[in-house]
Structure 1
Amino acid sequence: MPLISVIVPCYNQAQYLDECLQSVLDQTYQDWECIIVNDGSSDQTEQFAKKWVKKDKRFIYFYKENGGLSSARNFGLDRASGTWIQLLDCDDYLDPNKLEKQLSVLTEVSICDYRKVDMKKNILKDNYCKPFSENLFSYSDLILKWETELSIPCHCALFKKTDLRFNENLTNHEDWVFWLKLFYQREKVAYHKEVLAFYRINENSMSRNDVRMKEGFLKACDEMYVWYRKNNDKYNAKLVNEKKKKIINNNITYSFKEKIALKFSSIYKFYKNVKKN
């Protein structure tokens, strides 16, 4: 039985799969299995994945009908045999030392720093949020500061196998909900300030769609509110309600500023036309 199960969900991003799986193969810690979950891809994902299965028996390939990212992650979690879980989306990649370094200080959960990269692996400046550190992080921060001051891409974590699963009804922010539940009542968290994970930003991905992302965020807030209430946790239920109000207010403010900008743009264009005539 391997100590670590690496779960790689894939959907129509075959062009990045080699780089992703190579980063798993290159790990200095070798006691792992890598579960590749093809979530109904129509590109060459299957051919790429099967090549890796032939290369190393620790790579295990599954095909399933398309159900979305959360569905693919859950499929992998249900089949993982390792004691510890490493999630890794197929367009992202890991530092070769990640598993070894995080295992060396592991309690129940270990979090490392990360960097965002573009499609060509250029490091991007993160201008809207920062990964958290041991000096800044608290559970209330995870609720209130998510996507304003901190974020945790899924592959930054190495955590003990759990019965928790991703909510397949959420279109986005399913990772936030998962972290809130995973960290709940878990005080032993190890932090690595080293950059051991790389998160690729795709300009065409849904995460660039502000409206859909905010709608999903509000739905995630509603789920957590219900979850905290079921756990008789009025304090965190109140905090997640505060977060929801901030998301709504920020959206209203952004929409107002956008309308004002459009209005002044129209006035300016009108003025220029009048001046020409």
Structure 2
Amino acid sequence: MNSIPQVSIIMATFNRAHFILESLKAVQNQTFVNWECIIIDDGCSDDTSEVITTILNQDSRFKFQKRKDTYIKGLPGCRNYGLDLAKGDYIIFFDDDDIAHPQNLEICVKELSNNDISFCRYIREVFTGDFNYDFDYSKDYTHFEISVRDIEKILKNEILFNSCAVMWKKECFINHRFIEHLMYAEEWELYSRIISSGFKGISINKPLFYGRKHPDSNTGQFYNKNAVRRKSNADAISLVILNLKKENLLTNAILRHFIQSSLEYKSFNLFNRILNSLDLPIFDMMKWKLFYYQLPLRLFVYKIYKNKIKKIK
């Protein structure tokens, strides 16, 4: 085997001793074998290190590192540390409680052998409880290209970019890293920034990753109204808008979408933060303020209208 891995898998972990071994075995079962898996310990206080000792000793492709204090505690800091350690030409982020399809690396590497694309996105499905290992090994799937022209769909989550559902060429991270103070939507902010800078890729219609649903996940905490996760999402939106402005990609449709979303983040003053960051002419400022303050009434009327239409049908 080549001593230099072609793929670097970066896995941050924090107190997931009850899940991580199953995730690592899914990595070990990959049909593509030229990889390294860099496990970054984010300050575990459980027995994670003891649980994974056997697999570390058996398979030298796994590396276990403590996050350095120069990186902020959390997923973004761990992943940035992993990026600095990575030796592979391709980068992929796996979580410590999920399951990768055995063909994940094989199929993505094959797609990325095309020099015209810089990332390969695939389908991520979710599961609860015990995982069903009845994998579909078919290699027949459709695909479509993704580029900066799709940025609005990406930002609106019409084209989802989950953190563990993309393999990237390492070049994508030369000038782009995770914002380490973000504790939610950090991948959404980074990935949209990478794509808005001109990198293009491919999306394949095949499930290659399976996310475990449980209340202690970042996503579970966000939907349970965790204040830290919600503040992070508001901060990520502000950063996305600033980047779009810099890249001359901020359209009225995108701005309207985020101003409407800011209704959910009043406690974080998101609407005023958005407007203040854009340095708009007075007329445009007043136009968006009028739009924002009328939104609750408009949404209420629209809801009544939809209910009436449903009753008629």
TM-score normalised by structure 2 residue count: 0.70
Q: Quick check: 1:115–1:199 contact (8 Å CA) kept in 2?
A: yes
Residue 169 of structure 1: how far off its partner (Å): 1.4
Q: Which position in structure 2 is the counterpart of 1:189?
A: 201
Cα deviations across residues 51-89 of structure 1 (Å, max 9, x unaligned)? 221010111110126701111111111100101001001
1:60 partner SS: strand
Given candidates 89, 93, 98, the residue that maps to 1:92 is 98
Equivalent residue, structure 1, for 2:165: 156
- Note the 1:65-80 alignment, pairs <5 A: 67-80=73-86
Judged with a 3 Å threshold, the aligned counterparts in structure 2 of structure 1 residues 178 and 239 are, in CA distance, closer, same or farther, namely: farther
State the 1:230 CA deviation: 3.4
1:196 to 1:20, Cα distance in 2 relative to 1, 3 A = same
Can you list the C-alpha shifts for 1:140-175, whole angstroms capped at 9, x where unaligned? 1112x22xx442221110001122211111121101
- The DSSP-based 3-state class of the residue aligned with 2:18 is helix
Aligned-pair identity (%): 24
Question: How far did 1:3 drift?
Answer: 0.6
Aligned to 1:264: none
Structure 1 residue 229 and structure 2 residue 229: aligned?
A: no
Q: Which amino acid aligns with 2:122?
A: C
Choose from 187, 195, 200 the match for 1:175: 187
CA distance in 2, matches of 1:210, 1:22: 33
* 2:169 counterpart letter in structure 1: K
| Contact persistence 1:8–1:34 (CA under 8 A) | yes
Gaps of 5+ in 1: 124-132, 258-277
- Asked whether the 8 Å contact 1:140–1:236 carries over to 2, the reply is no
Instruction: Sort the Cα spacing of 1:238 and 1:70 in 2 relative to 1 into closer, same or farther, 3 A.
Output: farther
Whether the aligned pair in 2 keeps the contact of 1:218 and 1:247 (CA below 8 Å) is: no
8 Å contact from structure 2 (residues 162, 188) kept in 1: no
Q: CA RMSD in A?
A: 2.6
CA distance in 2, matches of 1:34, 1:211: 30
Match of 2:225 in 1: 210
2:47 to 41, 44, 49: 44
Q: If the length of structure 1 is used for normalisation, what is the TM-score?
A: 0.78
Residue of structure 2 equivalent to 1:242: 256
Q: Secondary structure at the match of 1:154?
A: coil
Q: Give the Cα separation in 1 of the matches to 2:146 and 2:239.
A: 25
> In 2, are the aligned partners of 1:84 and 1:158 still within 8 Å (CA)?
yes
Please tell me whether the aligned partners of residues 165 and 178 of structure 1 are also in contact (alpha carbons under 8 angstroms): yes
SS in structure 2 opposite 1:6?
Answer: strand
